[in-house]
């Protein structure tokens, strides 16, 4: 179920089961130990004491069964990514619990006991100890440091065997990931022969391992070139084909299995031999020996419970794969979205209106007063309906269509303006003038390749000073301001036509609003994924400001939707910070307080100014093209600057749409955070420079310098 986007309540139940399963098994082992320790110390040579001890022998047989359950299931090795780093704690638990079980069994087993029952217990102990040992082993192999060790294979210091290649393909196969869709990614014989000859390119699995470990694909490709295993970087980082784009979801599920399940152990020769051949034989042998052992004198209830425990444990061990397949196919039949297949949103205006609702607002305030976070009431996550999946499909298709060429692209250039607006006045607001001058100075000295990839020259011409200024500020504030402005423009558009299929214009509008709400959700709930250093409190400040605006406008008092007249009033009077038209007069004291409150406004006036300028763009298709391209630039930039560790962490919570975009960008060859930190700014491949000549725009005696760091010349 964790490979799907399920309700928060279901995930809470899974977490409780994960936590309580170990606690119940450990408590049961401790209870068995204490009961038999007391029985041994109080036993006498009387017949009643001997009969009592014999009746308790079967309880000791339950100890290895509890060890098997302490090992957990293959699909629930780690609940969060932090659990993988706690493998040493699980190792200590393994040693202590195995010692307790062995000690209780040794002290309670009589010397002239039934050898068949003893042999059955020994076989169960073998299964229990090995199964319990697999858990810390899998956690250790799934830790981030161990994932990074795949670089030895990637850099060519180790050669892949045929079995390793086959098992790696099986890890990302539709069968293991329980995918019911046909991938159509079967390799042709010619492709297999070419791959077996000399695989200098990184496989899809290698790329997924690397980006999850915050490793640079460009750096690995450069190492392969330096080692002589490839002619150039493009031979290693081959373009992502259309067929491969369809496999992105399958790779995400494979990455989930690698981190949160025992997939890193399942596809090893020892694991397969043990679980396919040895475990079924040991379970059958243990059951057979127990059935043939003498049970005279044992409690009938204990015998029945032992049969139930042995049979259910064996069935769970042997048939777990088939049970998992049935469960996943049932969820797929219900059209439950898989990992990263939703575009959840957060709407700030709706959140403010919800707080102002007469009934719902009281409940929200009451829950907030009791310590509950208000964000959970405002958070409207997609729950897997058909309409939600349709929205995701539309957004993902439009995003992929705009990623045709991303090789070496610096995604931060979406806010670089190289063309002045139509009026010729591209001045910034006063508060942004200093930062804007510094940014413009950097852009003037930037290479020609630093052109705006998101906004064409045609769209840059229609962008006024408010649009440009809103992009030149801090990223988190830009997201917030653009979200409010986009939502105001969206509410002014009205409703789409009900008859017939939606045209491309309304599809772009819906996708723009969806990306805007999603980015606002990241800022409010996952600011670390949006961008390092993002300030979550900006959302709370903006909500208070917007509520103040609604109070002054005397609208939305009961949480009703805003009319077009209300929206026009907000957009027209918001930028100047003027008091809205009041229906009742304000006293002198209230007027002074009102002026102080207006002076403290910051985010909403900027958003209203931006919305006012955007509404002047005609025709509406041009307006929404500008907003869509701006939000596309913000989405791609945020995805490229997010650490792979955070994307891997989000997979354990159902995944984020940002992770899907990030994986596409990484495999397309766009410059991610790791690439920017590891490689030089500019082209990934250095040009071939003739001997004795200097690079373009560089003096022969001048070496490249980092900003703020001067390197002394050799003759200095």
Q: In angstroms, rounded to a whole number, what is the distance separating the alpha carbons of residues 635 and 518?
A: 9
Whether 525 contacts 654, CB under 8 Å: no
Q: Which residues of 27-40 are buried (b: 16+ CB within 10 A; e: fewer)?
A: ebbeebbeebeebe
Lowest mean pLDDT among 206-215, 451-460, 639-648: 206-215
Lowest mean pLDDT among 236-250, 328-342, 391-405, 446-460: 236-250
At 476 the pLDDT is 94
User: Could you write out the DSSP letters of every residue in 590-650?
Assistant: HHHHHHHHHHT--HHHHHHHHHHHHHTSSSHHHHHHHHHHHHHHHHHHHHHHS-HHHHHHH
pLDDT at 578 > cutoff 50 = no
Report how far Cα 607 is from the mean position of its chain's Cα atoms: 30
Taking CA atoms, 492 is separated from 357, 487, 489, 509, 614, in Å, by 22, 9, 5, 12, 12
More confident residue, 370 or 656: 656
What is the sign of the dihedral through the CA atoms of 187, 191, 195 and 197? positive
Q: In angstroms, rounded to a whole number, what is the distance separating the alpha carbons of residues 212 and 251?
A: 12
> Residues 337-356: pLDDT tens digits?
778 888 888 899 988 888 88
At 436 the pLDDT is 41
CB-based contacts of 661, cutoff 8 Å, min separation 6: 399, 635, 636, 639
At 203 the pLDDT is 66
Q: In angstroms, rounded to a whole number, what is the distance separating the alpha carbons of residues 213 and 205?
A: 12
At 716 the pLDDT is 39
What is the sign of the dihedral through the CA atoms of 9, 14, 15 and 16? positive
Q: Is 4 helix (H, G, I), strand (E, B) or coil?
A: strand
> Residues 522-545: pLDDT tens digits?
999 899 999 989 998 999 899 888
Output Rg (C-alpha) for the chain, integer angstroms: 32
Please report which confidence band the pLDDT of residue 242 belongs to, taking 50, 70 and 90 as the band edges: low
Q: Could you give the residue ranges of the DSSP H alpha helices within 319-402?
A: 320-333, 348-355, 360-369, 375-378, 386-401
Q: Could you give the residue ranges of the DSSP H alpha helices within 43-155?
A: 47-55, 57-60, 62-70, 87-108, 115-141, 144-148, 151-154
pLDDT at 44 > cutoff 50 = no
Q: In angstroms, rounded to a whole number, what is the distance separating the alpha carbons of residues 578 and 427?
A: 23
At 443 the pLDDT is 41
Residue 548 zone, left/alpha/beta (φ > 0; ψ -120 to 50; rest): alpha
> Residues 394-441: pLDDT tens digits?
888 887 777 666 666 778 888 888 887 664 444 444 334 333 443 444
Q: Is 706 helix (H, G, I), strand (E, B) or coil?
A: strand
Please report which confidence band the pLDDT of residue 166 belongs to, taking 50, 70 and 90 as the band edges: low
Q: What is the dihedral of CA 151, 156, 162, 168, to 10 degrees?
A: 20
Average pLDDT over residues 651-656: 86
At 681 the pLDDT is 61
> Residues 659-710: pLDDT tens digits?
988 888 887 778 888 888 887 665 444 444 344 444 444 444 444 443 443 4
More confident residue, 108 or 47: 108
Taking CA atoms, 580 is separated from 75, 344, 573, in Å, by 58, 34, 7
Q: How many CB atoms lie within 10 A of CB 172?
A: 24
CB-based contacts of 323, cutoff 8 Å, min separation 6: 316
CB-based contacts of 9, cutoff 8 Å, min separation 6: none
Taking CA atoms, 138 is separated from 125, 147, 164, 262, 263, in Å, by 20, 12, 18, 6, 8
Phi, psi of 13 (to 5 degrees): -65, -40
Whether 655 contacts 339, CB under 8 Å: yes
Q: In angstroms, rounded to a whole number, what is the distance separating the alpha carbons of residues 207 and 423?
A: 47
Lowest mean pLDDT among 31-45, 233-247, 506-520, 583-597: 583-597
Residues of the chain with pLDDT > 70, as a percent, come to 68
Q: In angstroms, rounded to a whole number, what is the distance separating the alpha carbons of residues 60 and 272?
A: 30
Sequence-ordered strand ranges (E) for 166-232: none
Residue 559 zone, left/alpha/beta (φ > 0; ψ -120 to 50; rest): left
pLDDT at 152 > cutoff 60 = no
At 502 the pLDDT is 57
Note the maximum CA span of the chain.
107
Taking CA atoms, 394 is separated from 162, 390, 502, in Å, by 39, 6, 12
Please report which confidence band the pLDDT of residue 253 belongs to, taking 50, 70 and 90 as the band edges: confident
More confident residue, 150 or 6: 6
> Residues 173-197: pLDDT tens digits?
555 555 444 434 444 433 433 333 3
At 5 the pLDDT is 77
Burial of 429: CB neighbours in 10 Å, binned 0-12, 13-18, 19+: middle
pLDDT at 294 > cutoff 90 = no
Helices and strands per DSSP (H, E), number in the chain: 38, 0
Tell me the residue length of the chain: 716
> Residues 485-526: pLDDT tens digits?
999 999 988 766 655 455 788 889 999 999 999 999 999 989
pLDDT at 621 > cutoff 80 = yes
Average pLDDT over residues 612-636: 92
Whether 348 contacts 481, CB under 8 Å: no
Q: How many CB atoms lie within 10 A of CB 280?
A: 14
Please report which confidence band the pLDDT of residue 382 belongs to, taking 50, 70 and 90 as the band edges: very low
At 104 the pLDDT is 76
Q: In angstroms, rounded to a whole number, what is the distance separating the alpha carbons of residues 377 and 372?
A: 9
Of 628, 224, 644, the closest CA to residue 456 belongs to 628
Taking CA atoms, 695 is separated from 141, 444, 687, 690, in Å, by 45, 19, 9, 9
Q: Is 225 helix (H, G, I), strand (E, B) or coil?
A: helix
């Amino acid at each position: 179920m964790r490979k799907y986007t399920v309700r928060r309540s279901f995930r809470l139940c899974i977490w409780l089961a994960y936590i309580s399963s170990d606690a119940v098994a450990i408590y049961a082992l401790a209870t068995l130990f204490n009961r038999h320790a007391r029985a041994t110390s109080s036993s006498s040579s009387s017949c009643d004491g001997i009969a009592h001890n014999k009746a308790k022998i079967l309880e000791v047989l339950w100890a290895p069964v509890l060890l098997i359950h302490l090992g957990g299931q293959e699909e629930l090795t780690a609940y969060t990514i932090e659990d993988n780093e706690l493998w040493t704690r699980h190792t200590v638990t393994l040693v202590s619990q195995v010692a307790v079980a062995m000690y209780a069994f040794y002290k309670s087993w009589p010397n002239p006991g039934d050898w068949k029952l003893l042999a059955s217990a020994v076989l169960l102990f073998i299964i229990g100890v090995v199964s319990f040992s697999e858990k810390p082993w899998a956690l250790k192999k799934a830790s981030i440091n161990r994932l990074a060790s795949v670089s030895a294979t990637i850099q060519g210091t180790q050669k892949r065997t045929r079995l390793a290649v086959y098992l790696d393909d099986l890890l990302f196969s539709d069968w293991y990931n329980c995918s019911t869709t046909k991938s159509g990614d079967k390799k042709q014989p010619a492709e297999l022969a070419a791959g077996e000859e000399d695989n200098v390119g990184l496989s899809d699995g290698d790329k997924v391992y690397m980006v999850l470990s915050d490793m640079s694909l460009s750096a690995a490709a450069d190492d392969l070139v330096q080692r002589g295993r490839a002619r150039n970087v493009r031979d290693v980082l081959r373009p992502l084909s259309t067929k491969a784009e369809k496999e992105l979801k399958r790779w995400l599920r494979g990455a989930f299995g690698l981190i949160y399940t025992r997939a890193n152990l399942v596809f090893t020769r020892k694991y397969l031999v043990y679980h396919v051949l040895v475990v079924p034989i040991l379970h059958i042998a243990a059951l057979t020996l127990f059935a043939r052992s003498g049970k005279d004198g044992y409690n009938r209830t204990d015998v029945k419970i032992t049969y139930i425990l042995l049979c259910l444990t064996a069935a769970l061990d042997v048939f777990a794969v088939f049970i998992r397949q049935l469960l996943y196919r049932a969820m797929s039949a219900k059209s439950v979205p898989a990992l990263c297949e939703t575009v959840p949103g957060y709407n700030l205006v709706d959140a403010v209106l919800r707080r102002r609702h007469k009934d719902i607002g009281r409940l929200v305030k009451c829950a907030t007063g009791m310590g509950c976070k208000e964000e959970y009431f405002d958070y409207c996550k997609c729950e897997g309906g058909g309409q939600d999946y349709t929205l995701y499909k539309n957004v993902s298709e439009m995003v992929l269509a705009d990623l045709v060429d991303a090789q070496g692209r610096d995604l931060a250039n979406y806010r670089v303006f190289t063309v002045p607006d139509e009026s010729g006045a591209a001045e910034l607001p006063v508060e942004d003038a200093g930062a804007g001058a510094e940014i413009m100075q950097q852009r003037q000295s930037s290479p020609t390749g630093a052109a705006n990839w998101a906004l064409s020259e045609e769209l840059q011409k229609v962008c006024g000073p408010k649009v440009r200024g809103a992009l030149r500020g801090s990223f988190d504030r830009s997201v917030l301001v653009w979200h409010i402005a986009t939502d105001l423009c969206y509410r002014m558009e009205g409703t789409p036509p009900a008859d017939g299929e939606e045209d491309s214009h309304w599809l772009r509008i819906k996708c723009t609003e969806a990306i805007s709400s999603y980015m606002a959700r990241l800022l409010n709930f996952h600011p670390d994924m949006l961008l390092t250093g993002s300030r979550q409190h900006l959302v709370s400040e903006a909500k208070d400001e917007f509520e103040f605006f609604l109070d002054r406008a005397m609208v939305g008092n009961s949480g009703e939707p805003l009319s077009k007249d209300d929206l026009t009033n907000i957009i027209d009077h918001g930028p100047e910070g003027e008091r809205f038209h009041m229906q009742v007069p304000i006293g002198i004291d209230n007027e002074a307080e009102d002026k102080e409150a207006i002076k403290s406004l910051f985010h909403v006036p900027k958003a209203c100014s931006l919305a006012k300028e955007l509404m002047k763009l005609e025709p509406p298709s041009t307006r929404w093209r500008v907003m869509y391209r701006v939000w596309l630039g913000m989405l791609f930039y945020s995805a490229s600057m997010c650490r792979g560790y955070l994307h891997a962490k989000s997979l354990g919570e159902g995944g984020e749409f940002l992770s899907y975009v990030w994986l596409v960008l990484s495999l397309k060859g766009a410059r991610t955070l790791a690439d920017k930190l590891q490689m030089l700014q500019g082209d990934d491949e250095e040009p071939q420079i003739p001997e004795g000549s200097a690079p373009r725009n560089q003096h022969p005696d001048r070496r490249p310098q980092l900003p703020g760091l001067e390197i002394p010349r050799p003759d200095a």
